[in-house]
Structure formats: C-alpha cells, structure tokens
C-alpha cells in the first residue's frame, strides 16, 4: 500500500515521540500500530523497537496491560521473518517464564506468549535456545495438578514439538 511505501522512507519520528509515555491508552495504541506496520520488507526500520519491546517486558507488572501483548505479537512477527535480530537469549526466555508463572490464567497474554514461543521454535536461529531453556519448564508446568491457561498451552507446545521432531532431525538432536 502507499502508506507502507511511505513508512519505509519516512523516519518513525511520530511513533518515537510517544514511546516514553506513561499513559497506558497511548502505549496500547502505539504498540498495536507498531505490530501492525511490521512486515518483512521493513523489518530493518523496525529493528530499534525490538530492544524497546524487550525492555517493556523486563519491567515488573501487577496487572497485564494490552501493550505488553502487542509487544509480544510484534516480537513474534520479527521471529517469523527469520531476521538477523536474535533476541531469544536466556534472559529474555526467563522473562517469558516469569510472565507465565505470574499470570497463568491471563489467557490473552498466555496465548500470545506461546504464539511467540512457537514462532521462535520455527525460526532456525532461535530454536535451540528456546528448546534448551524452556522444555524443562513446559514439562514441569504441564504436570501441575491445577489446570490453567499456562498448563494447557504447555501441553499444546510440547505436542507441537513432538510432532515437528518427527520430521526435523535437528530438533531431535537438540533435545537428546
């Protein structure tokens, strides 16, 4: 579209001017816009938002705000493009684990976290880090007696990993 062609050329100054706001409504709309305008062809322009999204996720929260979910969706889009931006380090994965533990029944957050995890598993550059650091956690949560959105999604992602292991020998090697 014309908007996307112009966005690729015009700096993101308008978005940048609102990044440090403390008004959740603005943050919600800003991060929804950032995730919606992220495409394979402009991932280089969007690179600067990766660290900002990660920093937002690293903060402590007593409740889930929508912008957190949009940040996760933005990072999932980046992971789908198999770009050179490797953000699935151990610290980042620990943040995802913290959010899962802290909000196990917040289904819209949990679903987005597991969507991101699935995208990271499907990305050749991040699969090893995710499997190595998260499969033990998935196994632990999936065997908990209380049924939560988190435990259900752990079952689902373990089934996904099991299914792709049959056709992907590198995943078998990582997990063995």
pTM above 0.95, yes or no: no
Q: Work out the percent of the chain whose per-residue pLDDT is above 70.
A: 90
pLDDT higher than 70, residue 22: yes
Residue 2 burial class via C-beta count within 10 angstroms: exposed 0-12, middle 13-18, buried 19 and up: exposed
Name the band, by pLDDT with cuts 50, 70 and 90, for residue 12: low
Residues 99, 105, 107, 111, CA torsion sign: positive
Q: What is the pLDDT of residue 47?
A: 85
Per-residue pLDDT, averaged over 110-125, amounts to: 95
Q: What is the pLDDT of residues 48-59, one digit of tens each?
A: 899 999 999 999
- Which pLDDT score, from 0 to 100, does residue 1 have? 46
Nearby residues of 57 by Cβ (< 8 Å), 6 or more positions away = 68, 71, 72, 92, 95, 96, 99
Contact 46, 38 (CB under 8 A): yes
pLDDT value for 87 = 75
CA atoms within 13 A on the CB side of 28: 6
DSSP code per residue over 4-73: HHHHHHS-SHHHHTTTT---HHHHHHHHHHHHHT--GGGHHHHTHHHHHHHHHHHS--SS--HHHHHHHH
Give the separation between CA 52 and CA 81, rounded to whole angstroms: 19
Confidence of residue 9 (pLDDT cuts 50, 70, 90): very low
What's the rounded Cα separation, in Å, for the pair 109 and 100? Answer: 8
Q: pLDDT tens across 89-100, in order? A: 999 999 999 999
CA distance 3 to 167: 40
Average pLDDT over residues 161-172: 90
Position 15 pLDDT exceeds 90 = no
Of 40-49, 62-71, 113-122, 143-152, give the lowest mean pLDDT range: 40-49
């Amino acid at each position: 579209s014309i908007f996307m062609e112009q966005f690729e050329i015009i700096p993101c100054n308008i978005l940048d001017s609102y990044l440090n706001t403390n008004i959740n409504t603005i943050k919600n709309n800003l991060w929804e816009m950032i995730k919606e305008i992220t495409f394979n062809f402009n991932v280089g322009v969007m690179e600067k938002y990766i660290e900002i999204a990660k920093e937002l996720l690293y903060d402590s929260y007593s409740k889930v705000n929508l912008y957190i979910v949009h940040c996760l969706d933005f990072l999932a889009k980046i992971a789908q493009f198999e770009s050179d931006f490797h953000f699935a380090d151990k610290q980042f994965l620990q943040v995802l684990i913290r959010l899962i533990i802290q909000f196990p029944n917040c289904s819209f957050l949990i679903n987005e976290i597991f969507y991101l995890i699935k995208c990271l598993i499907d990305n050749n550059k991040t699969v090893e880090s995710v499997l190595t650091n998260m499969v033990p956690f998935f196994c632990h949560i999936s065997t908990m007696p209380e049924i939560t959105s988190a435990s259900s999604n752990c079952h689902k992602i373990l089934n996904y990993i099991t299914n792709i292991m049959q056709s992907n020998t590198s995943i078998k090697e990582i997990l063995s």
